[in-house]
């Protein structure tokens, strides 16, 4: 049996799906939500499918950059992007928005794309630059996703 390659966490937010989507899809603010992402550079907003960006990340003493591309941008429904390093695929991050009661269920998913040719090198790069072995990445991401969703919920509620 191989290691776990995906995660899902969700939270119900007291705001409309379109409002929560706008918070998440405004990539320059991703550093406000994520405990690892410090900043995102994107040429222009609002982003749409195909938009490319650069993420600047930090966890403890470890600092690294990723390149990303938005693969789905449907207002109030889904925001998905893939990230990589040195041309190697690393992960797919997705946010689904569904009306629930008077609010929105936001579901964040992570999928490990370090498979096939280059997977070992991508794993090694993650260990060296991010300080996290592929086996520990699931636990790190689970904690990070919970923090991210809590921060988004707080911002959406106070907006």
In the chain the domains, ranked by start, together with CATH numbers, are 6-158 (3.30.530.20)
> CA nearest 28: which of 19, 40, 36?
40
Distances (CA, A) of 127 to 63, 66, 143: 11, 14, 18
Question: Looking at residue 127, what is its pLDDT?
Answer: 66
Task: Give the up-direction half-sphere exposure of residue 115: CA atoms within 13 A in the CB hemisphere.
Answer: 10
Q: What pLDDT, in 10s, does the model give residues 90-126?
A: 899 999 999 999 999 999 999 988 787 777 766 666 6
Quick one: tokens of 11? 């939270």
Low-confidence ranges of the chain (pLDDT < 70): 1-2, 121-131, 133-134
pLDDT at 93: 98
pTM of the shown model:
0.90
């Amino acid at each position: 049996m191989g290691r776990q390659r995906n995660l899902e966490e969700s939270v119900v937010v007291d705001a409309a799906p379109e409002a929560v989507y706008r918070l998440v899809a405004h990539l320059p603010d991703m550093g406000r939500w994520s405990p690892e992402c410090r900043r995102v550079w994107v040429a222009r907003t609002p982003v749409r499918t195909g938009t490319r960006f650069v993420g600047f990340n930090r966890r403890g003493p470890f600092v690294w950059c990723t390149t990303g591309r938005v693969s789905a941008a449907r207002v109030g429904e889904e925001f998905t992007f893939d990230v990589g390093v040195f041309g190697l695929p690393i992960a797919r991050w997705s946010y689904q928005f569904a009306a629930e009661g008077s609010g929105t269920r936001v579901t964040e998913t992570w999928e490990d794309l370090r498979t096939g040719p280059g997977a070992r090198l991508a794993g090694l790069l993650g260990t060296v630059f991010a300080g996290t072995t592929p086996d520990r990445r699931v636990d790190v991401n689970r904690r990070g996703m919970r923090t991210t969703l809590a921060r988004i919920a707080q911002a959406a509620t106070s907006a």
